[in-house]
């Protein structure tokens, strides 16, 4: 019994030491429209005068690395996180990193890599029940956007962008590296107005499979992630 108590005390001390040697960093992705918070379900006016209502916005963020002077100093233990703009909590990623870690950039992907796509059905945020998996295509949807636009060629003025594809030349995964200052809270801005102003509504109101349009829109979506404010 005495040995068991000593063992438990040792484990508690070790756990407390590890917690003391680590810190939490909250990375919050913030969809915006003309530098103001974008609210799902609200109408927004484009530069062209057309109106856009974004009803759904989800995307995979993965392979998160913290960098210091061009070298990786920390790797996220979770391969992928599913962001969902329907709630503030759905846009938050919590990272536990070593205390006093020096870093000046964050690197991550938007989308799921080819190895994961060919590994079959998985769990967690990659569970097909999350609604981000093409059963017919045997692959993940990297970015999913749905809503309405006054310029849409659809009869109901709807649009659907289900952007994915992992086989060349239609691989749509995007990689970003953004300079940052070490902080307990990092806000990643996503300027959605810049994404919607380049849509060719005559033929891109519905992009639902891998191809050149999915790749083009995936690149444009990644370009909306342009800065971090602290």
In this prediction, residue 136 carries a pLDDT of 73
Residue from 50, 32, 33, 49 nearest 152 by CA: 50
In this prediction, residue 138 carries a pLDDT of 72
Dihedral angle over CA of 122, 123, 129, 133, nearest 10: -30
List, for residues 31-46, the tens digit of each pLDDT value: 999 999 999 999 999 9
pTM of full prediction above 0.75: yes
Which parts of the chain have pLDDT scores under 50? 2-19
In this prediction, residue 9 carries a pLDDT of 40
Specify the DSSP class assigned to residue 170.
S
Query: 173 φ, ψ to 5°?
Result: -60, 140
Question: What Å distances lie between residue 118 and 4, 140, 203, 208, CA to CA?
Answer: 46, 10, 30, 19
């Amino acid at each position: 019994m005495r040995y068991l108590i000593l063992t438990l005390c040792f484990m508690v001390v070790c756990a407390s030491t590890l917690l003391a040697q680590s810190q939490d960093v909250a990375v919050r992705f913030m969809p915006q429209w003309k530098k103001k918070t974008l609210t799902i379900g609200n109408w927004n006016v484009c530069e062209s005068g057309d109106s856009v209502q974004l009803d759904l916005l989800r995307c995979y963020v993965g392979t998160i690395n913290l960098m210091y002077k061009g070298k990786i100093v920390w790797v996220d233990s979770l391969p992928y996180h599913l962001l969902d703009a329907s709630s503030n909590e759905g846009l938050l990623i919590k990272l536990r990193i070593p205390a006093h870690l020096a870093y000046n950039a964050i690197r991550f992907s938007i989308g799921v890599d080819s190895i994961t796509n060919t590994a079959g059905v998985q769990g967690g945020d990659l569970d097909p029940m999350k609604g981000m998996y093409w059963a017919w295509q045997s692959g993940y949807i990297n970015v999913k956007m749905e809503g309405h636009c006054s310029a849409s060629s659809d009869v109901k003025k709807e649009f659907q962008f289900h952007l994915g594809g992992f086989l060349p030349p239609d691989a749509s995964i995007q990689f970003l590296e953004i300079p940052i200052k070490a902080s307990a809270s990092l806000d990643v801005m996503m300027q959605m107005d810049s994404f919607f102003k380049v849509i060719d509504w005559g033929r891109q109101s519905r992009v639902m499979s891998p191809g050149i349009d999915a790749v083009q829109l995936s690149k444009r979506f990644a370009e909306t992630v342009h800065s971090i404010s602290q």
